[in-house]
Structure 1
């Protein structure tokens, strides 16, 4: 015996009742496609369930049994193919999906992932990776599930963190002030590791705040003294800027020495490739006279494409810079004898065990100490300035000259310190058994 209307039917199957409802779709042969659910003990309950489904279909909130049964792996493929992010962001998302999310849910459908499954996965991730990585994995997992609503799942099982109760301050990375003396020791260590390019590399990062991948990808045509005369001018929409750059920057006269940040290098499909800088932050960075002279001499002294070539003459981006270069530069190294002897290098305590990126942070602190225009500082760092200030402000020539002046003054003050006490560097950054005690005495 069946009970219902043209869109819903209730019928008994054995000792239980089943309801069938029209999904609103048609089969290839033109007949209506129905969905069903059984196990009801009375017709009223079954009919009420079917009516609820029809209500969801009419209001666009219904998830069909077929969509809910979509394998999680298939949905991950669809989600990845629809991504439209910067290269580094997309690479990070893809890595988290392929290394953590897909292996865990390879036998699951979207309908299988409820709040309990979400919590179980979160516990699994927290138990096998570092806290920072776990947080990023769960962020991506949350986006994947949120985007499945409402077509494949009715609601997302992601549990949002609600800030209730006592405020707990987020722990920040510990930083020390970056002194010119510390940068000089980093530069001397870098010189010992990969030559004159290393010395100029460290001072360029400290004086421009460029991101590491931007420095790795800096080529001759975008660097002083060649730029802007050698600018490839690849964008027809930027012709006005190209002409203004020639009037404003360059070598000699009243022109300001500068570096143009147009790209960075990242690995993609097994090869090192050029990409736009992070957040599309192409920008021009004026440099103080002492650094301009260093860059001029450096490029005159080698014929490589890269401004800062690696030991083998390739881009530093093709190496594991943090491991092979930076850790020695920041942490120091012992003396080595044998067939390939090398001298010992002192550690630089403000950067010992820390990231190269903190040199960029130190540049921002220098600009803030010198009380430059906030808009000029944020633009130099490659940050987007929000609100009215970002809309109406611009970086003017006087702003750029002021930045050049204060950066040059830091260098000249350093030279005066070195002239007054030639041993000041070795006293501050000793080599040997007393180095650790000396570093501890400097404090945070």
Structure 2
């Protein structure tokens, strides 16, 4: 049973915490009030508080003071070390903890953060960063609190979804326009000016496959047509795919290129979304011509012949001139270039919208959800995803509709660059 004691004019209750000291004596905890800074009004309130704590001990719901008061700074890094994450997620979580969570909650006890304190911090975060980044920060904090509950350091998470109060603020969404093939063409022409035939093919490949940027940078020559699937290093997959893709050409998304502990590394694609992407004949022809023009390990080498990852600021060096345009540049023969016109529909936009546009095309052409989501590297949840399967017929129809978009563009008499000739070997 709890017992009451008075110290310096204040009432304090002590109760058995359910454990024992090294000496074998019972371990007690105490409190001078129901909350920090709030004293008990009388002995009855203190005694009832102690009874409630002993009830929690008996029913396995008690949270010890040492767990409850564990500093967030210590808990955050212990939590991160216990996670099994991909390298890109480790970097992102480390950045969020370092810049936004640990500095604010450093000395708070894990089990002492209230929902109102969380709401105030959430408002603070939303006023400091963009909507997308704020969602990422709050998501990591929510995981921290959920795991603290599982570890017995809290009874519940302070991240509580409340009914909306106050003025309504509509969520800001990126303004997008339907992607038309003429816009992609203008981007590809600009890319040819900036980056040669590599840039021309890069834009068409991203728009007509929906690959992610890291996957584009990590596309190795053995996984692109005309080499794949005969060049696939996996014997079982090679045998299966050679028979399936006799009349179709395809890209195998097997890698993305990213930094792992500071080292450029070919890792699996995001969410382990390995997949095969059939490509229309015109794109297969472009990729074949590009691969014949160089001997690099990746399909899309940088301007200097190396990897795009880490070679430069991709946005400033490649994408901004391609989408926003740039003034004419004079100088050495290898750096001079004419004026590049802006592409208004994509100026100031992310190159990732080419991936969004690819999904728009698939849906606009009436393709089923299963091949569409599989092509984007997404998993369909539930029974639909369990029973769904991409058939050769579905892939053939995708090829036909994508090729039709290209051929419709050609009817307008557009300029096409000549196929490149074999280039001398450059640095890797």
TM-score > 0.5, shorter chain as reference: yes
In the TM superposition, structure 1's runs of 4+ consecutive aligned residues that sit over 6 Å from their partners are 164-169
What does residue 295 of structure 2 align with? 303
Indicate the residue corresponding to 1:287 in structure 2.
279
Which residue number corresponds to residue 36 of structure 2?
none
Query: How big is the shift at 1:198?
Result: 0.8
C-alpha change, 1:390 and 1:146, in structure 2 (3 Å) is: closer
Deviation at 1:135, TM superposition (A): 3.1
Alignment CA distance shift 1:191-1:162 (3 Å) = same
Q: Of 263, 267, 272, which aligns to 1:271?
A: 263
**Pair 233,337 (structure 1): closer, same or farther in 2 beyond 3 Å:** same
Where does 1:137-148 land on structure 2 (aligned, <5 Å)? 137-148=137-148
Per the TM alignment, residue 310 of structure 1 is displaced from its structure 2 partner at its CA by: 0.6
Distance 1:105 1:169, change over 3 A: closer
Correspondence list, 1:117-156, <5 A: 117-149=117-149, 151-156=152-157
Q: Which residues in structure 2 correspond to 1:28-427 (within 5 Å)? A: 28-38=22-32, 40=40, 42-149=42-149, 151-162=152-163, 170-233=171-234, 239=236, 241-249=237-245, 254-318=246-310, 319-339=312-332, 340-418=335-413
- Is the contact between residue 146 and residue 157 of structure 2 (CA under 8 Å) also seen in structure 1? yes
CA displacement, residues 58-101 of structure 1 (integer Å, 9 cap, x when unaligned): 12221212112211111101221222344433432222111111
Alignment gaps of 5+ in structure 2: 33-38, 417-428
- Alpha-carbon contact 2:259-2:265 (below 8 Å) kept: yes
Q: CA deviation at 1:166?
A: 10
Over aligned residues, Cα RMSD in angstroms?
Answer: 2.5
The residue number in structure 2 matching 1:11 is: 5
2-structure distance, mates of 1:18, 1:168: 46
Kept in 1, the 8 Å contact 2:88–2:259? The answer is: no
Cα shift readout 1:291-347 (whole Å, capped 9, x = no counterpart): 111111111110111100011222222233222211111111111234553211111
* Native 8 Å contact 2:87 2:259 kept in 1: no
Q: 1:273 to 1:392 in 2, by over 3 A?
A: same
Cα distance in 2, alignment partners of residues 62 and 402 from structure 1:
61
For 2:412, what is the secondary structure of its paired residue?
A: helix
Stretches of structure 1 that go unaligned for 5 or more consecutive residues are: 424-444
Query: Shift in Å at residue 41 of structure 1?
Result: 6.2
Question: Aligned-pair distance for 1:167?
Answer: 8.9
SS of equivalent to 1:149 = helix
State whether residues 197 and 309 of structure 1, in contact with CA within 8 Å, keep that contact through their aligned partners in structure 2.
Answer: yes
Distance 2:138 2:386 in 1: 35
Q: Would the aligned equivalents of 1:93 and 1:140 in 2 still touch at CA under 8 Å?
A: yes
Greater mean deviation of Cα atoms: 106-115 or 172-181: 106-115
For the residues of structure 2 that align with 1:168 and 1:177, how far apart are their CA atoms? Answer: 26
Count of aligned positions: 406
Residue 70 of structure 1 aligns to a residue whose secondary structure is coil
- How far apart, in 1, do the equivalents of 2:10 and 2:368 lie? 76
